[in-house]
Structure 1
Amino acid sequence: MNERLRSVLAQRGVSPESLAAACEVDPKTVGRWLSGRVPHPRHRFVAAQHLRVEETLLWPVLRPRTGRPPTVGIELVGTYANRASVPREMWLSLLQEAKTQIDVLVFSGTFFAQTNPHVARMLAERAAAGVRVRLCFGDPMGKAAAVRGREEGIGDTLAAKIRASLTYYRSLPAKAGCEVRLHDTTLYNSLFRYDGDLLLNPHVWGQPASANPLLHLKRVDPMGWFDNYAQSFEAVWGSAKPWTPEPEGNTPHGQD
C-alpha cells in the first residue's frame, strides 16, 4: 500500500477520482497506485505537481540506491501556506489517533482550544488511554513573551492571550499522564507532536504564528529533521517550570 499517497490525498482534500482526472487516467489506475504500483514517469510528475509535493515523497523507491538516502524529502509529507489553512479535521484526527505521546510547544496556542473547545477533555482521554501529554506555554510574566509581544506589535496582548489560553487547561495538571509547563525562552517554532507526526510552525519576525507556514513531518530516521525538532522540544521542556493553576477567581498573577 502507498500510505504516503493516501495521506497526501487526505491532507489536500483530493479524491482519487480528482487525481485521476488531473493525470488523465482511469480512476482504477489511481487505485492501483494506492495499492503500491509505481506510475509512469509522466503520471508521477503530473500527480506530484497536482498535489504540490516532491515525487520522491510519494514514491521513495525512486531515490538513488547508493550511499545514505536523503531523509528530508521523505519526512516532509505536507506543507501549508499558513497555520490557519490546516484543516480542523487534521488537528482532531492526529490528537484522537495518538497512541504514545502528544507534545505541544507554543507561546499562547489560543487557536488550539478555540477551534476545539473540548480539547482539554480529549487530551485527558488520551492520557487515560496511556498517552503521555505535555503542553508547554510561554510564561505570561516572562521576558520572552514580552519581547515577542513587542516584535508582533501587540505589546502586553500576547501575555493576556497566554493567560486566556491556559484557562482551558485548568483540569489537566491533576490528570495522570498530563503535564503543563511554562517556558521563558525564545521560540523559533511552534511544535505539535503526535507520535510520529510533527506539525512544525516556523515563526517569522513580527508576524503572528498563524500567518506563518506549517510543515508536516513524519519520523523516518533518527538523523532527520523530525528528531532535531523533537530534541528542541525536550530542551525547552527541561528548562520550563511546572504550571499550577490558581483557584478560579484567585489569580493575582493572571497565570490561569
Structure 2
Amino acid sequence: MQNERLRAAMAEGGWTHASLAAKVDVDPKSVERWVNLGRTPRRETAMRAAETIGEDVFALWPKLRQARAARAVSPELVALYSQRADLPVSVFIDLFTQARKRIDVLVYAAVFLHEAYPRLNDLLRERAAEGCTVRIAVGDAGSANVQQRGQEEKFGLGVESRCQLAMMHYRSLVGTPGIELRTHATTLYNSIYRADDQMLVNAHVWGVNAYGAPVWHLRRNNDGGMFDGYAGSFDAVWATATPVQGG
C-alpha cells in the first residue's frame, strides 16, 4: 500500500527519493519502499525524514504511535498486540533469523510456526551452526497441566495432540550440535520466544486459546527489568524439564 501522504509531501517540497535519502542518511531504495510499499522506517529515521520535509511524523507513519505509547509504559516494551493472531508468522521468523547468540522457545505446542513456516527446523539448524545456542521446551502431552489446559480452553484432547505434533516437528533436531529439546510439565503462564535481547511474550488468559491472547514485544535495556524477569522464568522451567533423547 502506497504512502500517499509522504508522496505528496515530497512532491510539494521538491524532494526525490535520492535527495531525501541523502539528507537522512539512508539508501534511496529505503525511501522508495516508504513511498511505494508503505513501509515504516525506524523511529529515529522517521523523525529526521519528517522534520526534513516539514511534516508530522505520526501523520506520515501512524504505526509509530503504537511504538511511542509502548515506550511510555516501559522502555523495554517495543509493541503490544491485543492477540497473537494479529502478528504474522514473519515477525517470529525474523526474530529468530536475527539471533546470533541465543534462541529460547517455551511453549506447550505452538505448531503454528511449523505450519506457516516449514523451514523452521532448517533455520534453527543454520543459527546453531553459526554458534547460536537453541533451547526448545515443549509441553509434555501426558502431564496433568497440559490436560487441564485443554479442559479450561474447551479444547479437549486438542492441546495434548498438538503437543505431540510439536514433538514430531522438533524431534529431528535432537542430536544437532547447539540445539537441545526438552519437555516440561509446568503450568504455562506465558509462551516465550526469545532471540538474543529481544523477546515475544504470549500472555495466557484463562479459557482462551493462545492465538487469542495478548503478545508483548520486549527489548532488553537494563538489568532486572521485564525482559530479565521472563528470561529468568524460562531458565526456571528449563531446569525442571526433561531432555528428549534421540531415537
C-alpha change, 1:237 and 1:43, in structure 2 (3 Å) is: same
Alpha-carbon offset, residue 116 of structure 1: 1.1
For residues 74-99 of structure 1, what are the alpha-carbon distances to aligned partners after superposition, in whole Å with 9 as ceiling and x for unaligned? 21112223212212322222212210
Alpha-carbon offset, residue 150 of structure 1: 0.7
1:153 aligned partner, one-letter code: K
Percent identity reads: 35
Unaligned runs of 5+ in 2: 25-43
Alignment of 1:176-187 (within 5 A): 176-187=177-188
Query: Separation in 2 of the partners of 1:47 and 1:81?
Result: 24
Query: Separation in 1 of the partners of 2:175 and 2:46?
Result: 45
Partner of 1:11: none
Single out whichever of 76-85 and 49-58 deviates more from structure 2: 49-58
Query: Separation in 1 of the partners of 2:156 and 2:8?
Result: 48
Partner of 2:45: 34
Alpha-carbon offset, residue 51 of structure 1: 3.1
Q: Is this contact kept in 1: 2:96–2:195, CA < 8 A?
A: yes
Unaligned runs of 5+ in 1: 1-13, 59-69, 248-256
Query: Separation in 1 of the partners of 2:78 and 2:8?
Result: 20
Q: Is this contact kept in 2: 1:22–1:46, CA < 8 A?
A: no
Query: Separation in 2 of the partners of 1:198 and 1:77?
Result: 10
Alignment of 1:8-87 (within 5 A): 17=3, 20=6, 28=20, 32=24, 33-34=44-45, 37=48, 43=56, 46=59, 50-53=63-66, 55=68, 73-87=74-88
C-alpha change, 1:194 and 1:19, in structure 2 (3 Å) is: farther
Query: Separation in 2 of the partners of 1:86 and 1:173?
Result: 29
2:164 aligned partner, one-letter code: R
Q: Is this contact kept in 1: 2:181–2:244, CA < 8 A?
A: yes
C-alpha change, 1:222 and 1:48, in structure 2 (3 Å) is: farther
Query: Separation in 2 of the partners of 1:57 and 1:37?
Result: 21
Instruction: State the TM-score, normalized to the length of structure 1.
Output: 0.74
Alignment of 1:171-210 (within 5 A): 171-210=172-211
Instruction: State the TM-score, normalized to the length of structure 2.
Output: 0.77
Query: Separation in 2 of the partners of 1:232 and 1:19?
Result: 45
Partner of 1:121: 122
2:56 aligned partner, one-letter code: H
Alpha-carbon offset, residue 45 of structure 1: 6.1
Count of residues in correspondence between the two structures? 219
Query: Separation in 2 of the partners of 1:196 and 1:226?
Result: 8
**Could you say what secondary structure the match of 2:85 adopts?**
helix
Alpha carbon RMSD of aligned pairs, Å?
3.0
